[in-house]
Amino acid sequence: MSAAQSVKPGTLHGVGLGPGDPDLMTVRARRLLEGARHVAYFRKAGRKGHALTIAEDFLPKDAIHFPMEYPVTTEIPLGDPRYNEALSEFYAQVTMHLRALLISGEDVVVPCEGDPFFYGSFMHIYERLKDVVPVEVTPAVTGMSAAWTASGHPITWGDDVLTVLMATLPEEVLTARMRDADALVVMKIGRNMAKVRTALRAAGLYDRAWLVEYASQEGQTVQRLRDAGEGITPYFSIVLVHGQGRRP
C-alpha cells in the first residue's frame, strides 16, 4: 500500500449557522468553526457572503478560505435550461476541489445559513460526496422558526398542517397550495412579492399575513403584510400566516 493510499480521508462538515444571530448558533457549530483549518462557503460573486458574515468571528485567523461563487442567481430565469446547466457545472467544479482536499486527509467546514438540509446549497455537495468521504451535518435553527418567533405568535395549534412554499412557484400553484394550508410560510420572496400578494388575496389569506424581514438579524422588521410597502423585499424575508387550530 502506498503512502497516498494509507491516508485517512478527512471529514466534510456541513455546519448550520442558524438564522443569523450568533447567539442562536449551536455549541457544536461554534466548536467546528473555531477548529476549522479549511473553510468553504457559498457567496454571490463580488459579495462577502452571508454565511461568512455570520461565521467569520469564530474562525481561526489562519483558516484557509475557499469561496464558492455562484455563476448565476437571478440573471437567468429558473425555468431556463441554462440555469440548471450552469449550476450543475458549478457544483461539479467546487466538489472536485473539496474532494481533493478531503481525500488528502484534510477536514473541511462548510458554514451554511439556516439548516444545511433545509433548501440549502450544501445539499448539492452532500449528495455528490456522501458516498466518497465521511460527511457530517450539524443541524440548526431555521430562518422560518426565527421569523414566526419574531412575530410573537405560535405558527401552529393543535392539528394544524404547516405548509412551506417557495415564492418562485407559479401563481396558480401558490394559490392552490395556500387555499389548502392551515398555517403558511412563504420563502424566497424578493422580486416575487406582487405574485405572493395576489395569491394570498385569491386564497382569502391576505389580511392574516405577516411579513418578517431579517429575522433575528440587525434590521429585523415585523409587520402585517397589508401595512408593508409595495416595493421589492429583501432576500431574507418570510411571509407567515399563523394557524388557527384546536387549542384547550
Asked whether residue 78 carries a pLDDT value surpassing 90, the answer given is: no
- The last residue of a domain, from among 138, 169, 193: 138
Q: Where are the alpha helices (DSSP H) in the chain?
A: 3-6, 27-34, 50-55, 81-103, 122-129, 143-151, 171-179, 193-202
Domain CATH code at residue 181:
3.30.950.10
The pLDDT score that the predictor gives to residue 155 is 98
| Amino acid at position 220, single letter | Q
Q: Is residue 42 part of a domain?
A: yes
Verify that 236 and 202 share a domain, yes or no: yes
Verify that 123 and 161 share a domain, yes or no: no
Residue 216 grid cell? 433575528
Verify that 169 and 115 share a domain, yes or no: no
Give the number of residues written for the chain: 248
Verify that 42 and 121 share a domain, yes or no: yes
Q: Is residue 127 part of a domain?
A: yes
Asked whether residue 233 carries a pLDDT value surpassing 90, the answer given is: no
Verify that 147 and 132 share a domain, yes or no: no
3-state percent breakdown (helix, strand, coil) of the chain, nearest 5: 35, 20, 40
Please tell me the total count of domains within the chain: 2
Structural domain range at position 210: 143-241
Residues with Cβ within 8 Å of residue 22, at least 6 apart in sequence: 54, 57, 58
Owner of C-alpha cell 467569520: 56
Verify that 194 and 225 share a domain, yes or no: yes
Verify that 11 and 99 share a domain, yes or no: yes
Q: Is residue 11 part of a domain?
A: yes
Q: What is the pLDDT of residues 98-136, one digit of tens each?
A: 999 999 999 999 999 999 999 999 999 999 999 999 999
Asked whether residue 60 carries a pLDDT value surpassing 50, the answer given is: yes
Q: pTM of the full predicted structure?
A: 0.89
Asked whether residue 46 carries a pLDDT value surpassing 70, the answer given is: yes
Verify that 49 and 127 share a domain, yes or no: yes
| Amino acid at position 155, single letter | I
The pLDDT score that the predictor gives to residue 169 is 95
Q: Is residue 150 part of a domain?
A: yes
| Amino acid at position 66, single letter | F
DSSP string of 116-129, one letter each residue: TTSS-THHHHHHHH
Q: Is residue 178 part of a domain?
A: yes
Q: Is residue 165 part of a domain?
A: yes
Q: What is the pLDDT of residues 154-166, one digit of tens each?
A: 999 999 999 999 9
Asked whether residue 232 carries a pLDDT value surpassing 90, the answer given is: no
Phi, psi (deg, nearest 5) at residue 138? -105, 110
The pLDDT score that the predictor gives to residue 69 is 94
- Cβ neighbourhood burial of 144 (10 Å; 0-12, 13-18, 19+): buried
The pLDDT score that the predictor gives to residue 200 is 98
Residues with Cβ within 8 Å of residue 119, at least 6 apart in sequence: 166, 187, 188
Measured CA to CA, the distance from residue 109 to residue 36 in angstroms comes to: 6
Asked whether residue 224 carries a pLDDT value surpassing 50, the answer given is: yes
CB 185 within 8 Å of CB 240:
yes
Asked whether residue 36 carries a pLDDT value surpassing 70, the answer given is: yes
